[in-house]
């Protein structure tokens, strides 16, 4: 068992449940957030090891959330993976340029997701190839 804490920030309840069940079967601890604002609050309180961030979420989208994470000293090195249905040319590059560590398209290929999670928090050197298969001050 890994014990690694993963925040799943996903507004679609079915997707969130599927991701949560998959991760928990592999020994990960999961925390859930249904919108960008809640994701920031959970990051501040729960201090996850990895964040899986849906790019299109209510209240604050994933791009605003990653901007705030990268601007906060305590969390600027947090490993954040973009989860998105966007699979157009340039979308992956846009997400990585915004500060995401990896980019995983929906529907999720769980092998690719595990690879992205396995990169850990320490660096951004390796990125999985894209595959289209179908603290309270953070809040301010």
Residue 78 is part of a domain; what is its CATH number? Answer: 3.40.50.2300
Which pLDDT score, from 0 to 100, does residue 129 have? 40
Per the CB < 8 A criterion, the answer to whether 102 and 116 are in contact is: yes
In this prediction, residue 118 carries a pLDDT of 87
Task: Give, in order, the Cα–Cα distances in Å from 66 to each of 95, 109, 131, 138.
Answer: 9, 22, 22, 10
Task: Note the pLDDT of residue 2.
Answer: 59
As a whole number of angstroms, the distance between CA 29 and CA 20 comes to: 9
For residues 57 and 35, give the distance between their C-alpha atoms in angstroms, rounded to a whole number: 5
Contact (CB, 8 A) for 41 and 65: no
pTM of the model: 0.83
pLDDT reported for residue 138: 53
- Which residue, 59, 140, 44, 62, is CA-closest to 100? 62
Q: Are 106 and 55 in contact (CB under 8 A)?
A: no
As for how many domains the chain has, the answer is 1
Domain of residue 132, residue span: 5-138
Burial of residue 66 (CB within 10 Å: 0-12, 13-18, 19+) is: buried
Q: Mean pLDDT for each 10-residue chunk of the chain (140 residues)? A: 86 96 96 97 96 94 96 92 89 95 94 84 39 42
């Amino acid at each position: 068992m890994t014990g690694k804490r993963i925040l799943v920030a996903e507004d679609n309840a079915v997707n969130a449940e599927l991701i949560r069940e998959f991760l928990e079967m592999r020994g990960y601890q999961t925390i859930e957030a249904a919108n960008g604002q809640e994701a920031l609050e959970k990051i501040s309180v729960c201090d996850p090891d990895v964040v899986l961030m849906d790019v299109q979420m209510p209240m604050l989208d994933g791009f605003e959330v990653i901007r705030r994470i990268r601007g906060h000293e305590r969390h600027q090195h947090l490993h954040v993976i973009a989860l998105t249905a966007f699979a157009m040319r340039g979308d992956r590059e846009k997400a990585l340029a915004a500060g995401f560590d990896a980019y995983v398209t929906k529907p999720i290929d769980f092998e690719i997701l595990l690879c992205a999670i396995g990169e850990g928090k320490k660096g951004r050197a390796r990125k999985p190839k894209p595959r289209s298969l179908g603290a309270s001050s953070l809040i301010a």
